[in-house]
């Protein structure tokens, strides 16, 4: 896989993981559940179950240019991402859980919309590296 494809797939994975983490936090908030130690432990158990249950081989292939196998194999990280802000605010109310989910979703969408910037940065670094290599080769 070339570097541009790796950037595209990596940023899409991060975006999906953040959006799933946001859905978990918002779901708890909508259900009227605030942050607590049992919720954190439950999310950590879900993390472990998803880690053990992740598929070893590719089953889905690319869907609309998105590496679904990579996303499914890394999906176990989503509950762990949800746990991190809950550890900071262990007494969050249901409304605060929704806000935490909103911030996670915002971070995911910001990452998605910054993909062209990441690719532009990669292209600029590659162009500079190539021009420096040619200048040193003379």
Chain centre to alpha carbon of residue 3: 19
Give residue 105's pLDDT.
97
Rounded distance between C-alpha atoms, residue 50 and residue 83, angstroms: 15
In percent, how much of the chain has pLDDT > 70? 98
Q: How confident is the model at residue 1 (pLDDT cuts 50, 70, 90)?
A: low
Contacts of 14 (CB under 8 A, 6+ apart): 108, 111
Q: Among the listed ranges 24-28, 36-40, 56-60, 102-106, which one has the minimum average pLDDT value? A: 56-60
The pLDDT confidence band at residue 6, using thresholds 50, 70 and 90, is confident
Residue 138 has pLDDT above 60, yes or no: no
The structure's pTM equals 0.86
For position 5, what pLDDT does the model report?
A: 82
Number of Cβ within 10 Å of residue 71's Cβ equals 19
Q: Please answer whether residues 106 and 19 qualify as being in contact, where contact means their C-beta atoms are separated by less than 8 angstroms.
A: no
Rounded to the nearest integer, the mean pLDDT of the chain is 90
- What pairs with residue 26 in β-bridges? none
């Amino acid at each position: 896989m070339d570097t541009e494809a790796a950037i595209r797939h990596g940023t899409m994975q991060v975006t999906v993981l953040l959006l799933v983490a946001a859905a978990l936090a918002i779901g708890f908030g909508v259900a009227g559940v605030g942050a607590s130690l049992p919720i954190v432990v439950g999310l950590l158990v879900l993390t472990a179950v998803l880690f053990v249950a992740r598929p070893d081989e590719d089953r889905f292939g690319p869907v609309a240019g998105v590496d679904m196998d990579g996303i499914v194999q890394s999906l176990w990280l989503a509950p762990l991402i949800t746990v991190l802000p809950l550890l900071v605010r262990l007494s969050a109310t249901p409304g605060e859980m929704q806000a935490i989910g909103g911030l996670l979703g915002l971070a995911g969408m910001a990452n998605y919309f910054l993909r062209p910037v990441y690719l532009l940065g990669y292209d600029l670094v590659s162009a500079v590296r190539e021009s420096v290599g040619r200048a040193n080769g003379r």
